[in-house]
Copies of this chain bind each other. A is one copy, B any other.
Amino acid sequence: MSSESTPPRPTDAELAILRVLWDRGASTVRDVHEALESTQSTGYTTVLKLMQIMHAKGLVTRDDANKAHVYRPAVEEEAIQRNLIESLLDRAFQGSAEQLVLRALSIKPSTPEELAAIRALLDKLEDTP
Protein backbone atom coordinates (compact mmCIF):
# COMPACT_ATOMS: atom_id res chain seq x y z
CA MET A 1 0.00 0.00 0.00
CA SER A 2 2.45 2.63 1.17
CA SER A 3 3.46 4.43 -1.98
CA GLU A 4 6.14 6.46 -0.18
CA SER A 5 6.82 8.80 -3.07
CA THR A 6 10.23 10.25 -2.46
CA PRO A 7 9.74 13.90 -1.59
CA PRO A 8 11.51 16.14 -4.09
CA ARG A 9 14.74 17.76 -3.01
CA PRO A 10 14.41 21.51 -2.72
CA THR A 11 17.28 23.69 -3.83
CA ASP A 12 18.67 26.45 -1.63
CA ALA A 13 16.41 29.12 -3.05
CA GLU A 14 13.43 26.83 -2.86
CA LEU A 15 14.20 25.95 0.72
CA ALA A 16 14.30 29.60 1.69
CA ILE A 17 10.85 30.06 0.21
CA LEU A 18 9.52 26.91 1.85
CA ARG A 19 10.71 28.17 5.20
CA VAL A 20 8.69 31.34 4.76
CA LEU A 21 5.64 29.30 3.85
CA TRP A 22 6.10 26.98 6.79
CA ASP A 23 6.42 29.96 9.11
CA ARG A 24 3.74 32.23 7.70
CA GLY A 25 1.37 29.69 6.21
CA ALA A 26 -0.53 30.57 3.05
CA SER A 27 1.22 33.50 1.37
CA THR A 28 1.31 35.46 -1.84
CA VAL A 29 4.45 36.03 -3.84
CA ARG A 30 4.57 39.51 -2.41
CA ASP A 31 4.41 38.19 1.13
CA VAL A 32 7.27 35.82 0.48
CA HIS A 33 9.30 38.44 -1.29
CA GLU A 34 8.95 40.85 1.60
CA ALA A 35 9.80 38.17 4.11
CA LEU A 36 12.97 37.31 2.23
CA GLU A 37 13.95 40.92 1.67
CA SER A 38 15.40 41.27 5.16
CA THR A 39 17.89 38.51 4.46
CA GLN A 40 18.43 38.36 0.74
CA SER A 41 18.01 40.85 -2.05
CA THR A 42 16.25 38.97 -4.79
CA GLY A 43 13.93 40.69 -7.20
CA TYR A 44 10.20 40.21 -7.12
CA THR A 45 9.99 38.36 -10.40
CA THR A 46 12.76 36.06 -9.28
CA VAL A 47 10.72 34.93 -6.33
CA LEU A 48 7.69 34.64 -8.57
CA LYS A 49 9.55 32.48 -11.05
CA LEU A 50 10.91 30.24 -8.33
CA MET A 51 7.47 29.73 -6.85
CA GLN A 52 6.10 28.88 -10.28
CA ILE A 53 8.81 26.29 -10.67
CA MET A 54 8.10 24.94 -7.21
CA HIS A 55 4.45 24.65 -8.16
CA ALA A 56 5.37 22.69 -11.26
CA LYS A 57 7.53 20.42 -9.14
CA GLY A 58 4.77 19.88 -6.63
CA LEU A 59 6.59 21.53 -3.75
CA VAL A 60 3.76 24.01 -3.22
CA THR A 61 0.08 24.23 -4.00
CA ARG A 62 -1.56 27.31 -5.39
CA ASP A 63 -4.92 28.97 -5.15
CA ASP A 64 -5.43 31.18 -8.16
CA ALA A 65 -8.97 32.24 -7.37
CA ASN A 66 -7.84 35.81 -6.81
CA LYS A 67 -5.50 37.92 -8.82
CA ALA A 68 -2.67 37.42 -6.39
CA HIS A 69 -2.27 33.68 -6.17
CA VAL A 70 -1.97 32.16 -2.73
CA TYR A 71 0.67 29.54 -2.18
CA ARG A 72 0.89 26.84 0.45
CA PRO A 73 3.61 24.33 1.19
CA ALA A 74 2.86 20.91 -0.28
CA VAL A 75 5.59 19.14 1.64
CA GLU A 76 6.05 18.80 5.36
CA GLU A 77 8.90 20.57 7.02
CA GLU A 78 9.79 17.46 8.96
CA ALA A 79 9.94 15.31 5.81
CA ILE A 80 12.26 17.75 4.09
CA GLN A 81 14.46 18.03 7.15
CA ARG A 82 14.66 14.27 7.34
CA ASN A 83 15.61 14.11 3.69
CA LEU A 84 18.32 16.69 3.99
CA ILE A 85 19.79 14.95 6.99
CA GLU A 86 19.80 11.60 5.25
CA SER A 87 21.47 13.14 2.25
CA LEU A 88 24.11 14.72 4.45
CA LEU A 89 24.62 11.43 6.26
CA ASP A 90 25.30 9.66 2.99
CA ARG A 91 27.53 12.32 1.54
CA ALA A 92 29.66 13.25 4.50
CA PHE A 93 29.18 10.91 7.43
CA GLN A 94 29.19 7.47 5.86
CA GLY A 95 25.70 6.99 7.20
CA SER A 96 26.61 7.41 10.83
CA ALA A 97 23.92 9.49 12.49
CA GLU A 98 25.84 9.41 15.73
CA GLN A 99 28.86 11.09 14.22
CA LEU A 100 26.63 13.78 12.86
CA VAL A 101 24.95 14.27 16.21
CA LEU A 102 28.21 14.47 18.05
CA ARG A 103 29.52 16.99 15.56
CA ALA A 104 26.38 19.07 15.71
CA LEU A 105 26.34 19.18 19.48
CA SER A 106 29.92 20.36 19.63
CA ILE A 107 29.24 23.27 17.32
CA LYS A 108 26.95 25.38 19.40
CA PRO A 109 26.67 25.85 23.11
CA SER A 110 23.28 24.55 24.07
CA THR A 111 21.06 25.69 26.86
CA PRO A 112 20.34 23.27 29.71
CA GLU A 113 16.78 23.02 28.47
CA GLU A 114 17.89 21.94 25.03
CA LEU A 115 20.29 19.40 26.42
CA ALA A 116 17.52 18.09 28.63
CA ALA A 117 15.27 17.66 25.63
CA ILE A 118 17.89 15.61 23.87
CA ARG A 119 18.45 13.56 26.99
CA ALA A 120 14.76 12.87 27.17
CA LEU A 121 14.76 11.57 23.63
CA LEU A 122 17.72 9.35 24.43
CA ASP A 123 15.76 7.90 27.31
CA LYS A 124 12.86 7.16 25.05
CA LEU A 125 15.07 5.57 22.41
CA GLU A 126 16.70 3.32 24.97
CA ASP A 127 13.40 2.30 26.50
CA THR A 128 11.74 1.29 23.26
CA PRO A 129 14.22 -0.41 20.98
Number of interface residues of A (CB under 8 A): 42
Q: Given A16-B91, A91-B15, A121-B105 in contact, is the A98-B80 Cβ separation under 8 Å?
A: no
Q: Contact: A107 with B82, CB < 8 Å?
A: yes
CA distance A16 to B110 in the complex (A): 31
| Residue A64 at the chain B interface, CB threshold 8 Å | no
15 sampled A-B residue pairs with Cβ under 8 A: A12-B91, A19-B94, A81-B93, A81-B103, A82-B103, A82-B107, A84-B91, A85-B103, A98-B114, A98-B117, A104-B104, A109-B125, A115-B122, A118-B122, A119-B119
Interface residues of A (CB under 8 A from B): 12, 15-16, 19, 78, 80-82, 84-86, 88-89, 91-94, 97-110, 112, 114-115, 117-119, 121-122, 125-126, 129
Known: A82-B103, A101-B104, A101-B105. 8 other contacts (CB 8 A): A16-B91, A84-B88, A97-B114, A104-B104, A105-B118, A112-B126, A115-B126, A118-B122
